[in-house]
Amino acid sequence: MGPGLITANAGNDAGGIATYSQAGAEYGYGLLWAFPLILLSLAVVQEMAARMGAATGKGLSDLIRENFSIRTTSIVLLALLVANGGTVVSEFIGIAASVKLLHNGAQYVAVPLIAAAIWLMVVKGSYRSVEKVFLSMTLVFFAYPISAVLAHPNWGSALRHTVVPSATLSQGYLFTFVALVGTSITPYMQVYVQSAVADKGITARDYAPERIEVYLASVFANLIAVFIVIATAATLYPRHIVINDASQAAQALAPLAGKYAELLFATGLFGASMLAAAILPLATAYSISEALGVEKGVDAGFRDAPVFMGLFTGLMAVGVVVALLPGLPLIQILLVVQVIDCLLLPFILFSILRLVNSPRLMGDMVNGRVYNAVAGTAAVLVTGLAIAYIVSTVV
């Protein structure tokens, strides 16, 4: 256990919680039909990235730099930097929102201190030891399945909407659907799982258990997302509550936690945001440094690895500053970030497809026809979805 599970848990971060909650609160069960398609796409894409890590022993950015032209590499890296930078901001927004739930105003002191603690933990301490704490805090999101059951949802309607698509052509519906895709198959998840598999030393010989782990982790992440939608659809949708802040999103846990719903939600949101806030800037700095061929590593310091340390520190600083700007609609920003992730996702998907089909790189682990069909269809559909959203926005 490790790479797949950590990636899946980090995927259910602040942006994910906000997006799934908004989908249930605004459209009830109407978007559940998207999750079987998202699950299939997520499992296949994550498995391909993990398989590349096992077959090559290298991260995605390394492979892109070695096998693509300078122009293509620059485009993919820019997409990755923008997507990851926006997601880093969303994690600190999640930290700010969780602290604000406990005491309004405390976020202005707590968020900079927390960011400094994360920075020191990664640079000076052992992230692996603290990682387990963050993972355990995200376990409170198991409260969503319980809350969904206690809220007595219309299971027949939920099942019908899961099987039968009920899409509309409204701008709001398309926005939420694009955000769902962007937060469920976030670009950094493919980068992180491949690097984690390579760093763990998993090879082709012992890859079979890792493939199972990646599949199970994808199912786990998808089920949590589905139950968040069902819980908010059962509790918030009937009252026509549109989520504008974290306290409204926390009401979905009221059937289980009652008056402690905000505390439970804040704990889970804090753990999920901290986990991703520690992983994302580090993974992004590694990816960009690998692609540029410059020195990398937290042990190298600013003198020996200025690009790496500058990116890592800069991403965290930007996240803190944006999260603390007064008057920002935090939930809306989280949703917009997920939409941006979806718009940039095709660059990563087509890069993975090109690399994983190279016999020179993959050997016997090269992609098969079924994987190419599923992943290729997903890449084309996500591209079409991104184009449709851009056109509808312009119109």
Give pLDDT tens digits along the chain (395 positions).
678 887 877 777 888 888 999 999 999 999 999 999 999 999 999 999 999 999 999 888 889 989 999 899 889 888 988 988 998 999 999 999 999 888 888 999 999 999 998 888 878 766 566 666 766 766 777 888 888 899 899 999 999 999 998 878 788 889 999 999 999 998 888 888 888 888 788 888 889 999 999 999 999 889 999 999 999 999 999 988 888 888 888 888 888 888 888 888 888 888 888 878 887 888 888 888 877 888 877 777 788 889 989 999 999 999 999 999 988 787 888 888 999 999 989 999 999 999 999 999 999 999 989 999 999 999 999 999 888 888 888 87
Listed residue (15, 271, 244) closest to 136, CA to CA: 271
Q: Strand runs (DSSP E) across the chain, as ranges?
A: none
Name the 3-class secondary structure at 305.
coil
What's the domain range around 89?
Answer: 3-394
Residue ranges of alpha helices (H) inside 68-106 are: 70-102
The domain that holds 386 is classified in CATH as 1.20.1740.10
State how far the Cα of 236 lies from the Cα of 242, in Å rounded to an integer.
8
Q: How many domains does the chain have?
A: 1
Q: What is the dihedral of CA 211, 50, 311, 81, to 10 degrees?
A: -110
pTM of the predicted structure, to 2 decimals:
0.88
Is the C-alpha dihedral spanning 194, 314, 132, 223 positive or negative?
negative
Which DSSP state fits 245? Answer: S
